[in-house]
Amino acid sequence: MFFIAVFVIPVGLMVRYSFLQQLPDGTLTGNFTLANYIRLGAVDLYRNVVVTTLRISLFTTLGAMLLAYPLALVIARGPAMIGRAITVLVIAPLLVNVVVRAYGWRIILGNGNSGVLNWALSYLGLGPVEILYTEWAVIIGSMQVFLPMMVLPLAAAIGRIDPAVEDAARTLGGSSLAVFRRVTLPLSVPGLGVGCTLVFSLTASSFILPALLGGSFTKMLGTLVEEQILTVFDWPFGAAIATAMVLIVMAINLAYMALIERRFRSRAMEAA
């Protein structure tokens, strides 16, 4: 009943609003229409926002995956004290509000001489770079914010792998890279799937980070929904954007999970 009250009913109302039409005076008509979805797909600006959202989410997921594997390996396979310290360092940022972290990245990535990064680059004679209010700023901030969502599932998956399997691979002459590629990576794919799903979904639906780090130059679907509902007061179109965002993210995650399941099924058939 709680799930129905706080999730099913609000989502159902959102989907219903997305098929309504809003008159110039702000009133909603009860006529069923697909105009909001057609508008989302027909206007170049909105199509570019969808593509930007998917691109930033994909790069954030890939970057978080590359950073998470070494951390997860240390947590699961390293010395106990170091593993606990890395776990604390990974989880500790979750205690800080995302708005505070976003403003911290604004100070670090600030354009001109105001940014810490540009100050350090100027000191080294490498010149300033323009990162703030670009897609890269959103990707960097998103990777830092959502990295724990990738590290923790990976560490749990690697921790369930029998170390004897990896030792057997080394005994058979496999290098560290070969053991990781042929043993650790395939066996940790379930944790990787969970982490990729969480990071991709959270990045695609984020609002604070694109608004503070991307500004008006890097819009994502979350900021577009906020503008349509709170600034333009176009509730049906905002609901259509939100519904499309949910469907796109869900379709990509389902396709990814189906790919993983098919991979495991094929491996099981080969082993049989």
Q: Is 85 exposed, middle or buried (0-12, 13-18, 19+ CB in 10 A)?
A: middle
Residue 136 CA to residue 139 CA, distance in Å, equals 5
- Look up residue 2 and give its amino acid: F
Q: CA 169, CA 186: separation in Å to the nearest integer?
A: 13
Q: Is the pLDDT of residue 152 over 50?
A: yes
Return the pLDDT at 32.
87
Confidence of residue 64 (pLDDT cuts 50, 70, 90): very high
Calpha distance 104→213 (Å, rounded): 10
Pair of tokens at residue 250: 């869900």
What confidence score (pLDDT) does residue 270 get? Answer: 55
Please indicate whether residue 114 or residue 152 has the higher confidence score (pLDDT).
152
* pLDDT at position 73 over 90: yes
Residue 272 has pLDDT above 60, yes or no: no
pTM for this model (two decimals): 0.88
Sign of CA dihedral 36, 39, 40, 41: positive
Q: How many CA atoms lie within 13 A of 42 on its CB side?
A: 6
pLDDT given for residue 265 in this prediction: 60
Q: What is the mean pLDDT of residues 176-180?
A: 88
**Residue-wise pLDDT tens digits, 183-197:** 888 888 889 888 999
What residues pair up with 21 in beta bridges, in sequence order? 29
SS3 per-residue string spanning 127-142: CCCCCCCCHHHHHHHH
Domain boundaries 2-271, CATH class: mainly alpha
* pLDDT tens digits, 135-147: 999 999 999 999 9
- Helices 189-204 and 44-77: crossing angle in degrees, nearest 10, is 140
Sequence-ordered list of residues with C-beta below 8 angstroms from that of 59, at least 6 positions apart, any chain: 135, 139
Q: In the predicted model, what is the mean pLDDT of residues 190-206?
A: 91
Band of residue 269 on the pLDDT scale cut at 50, 70, 90: low
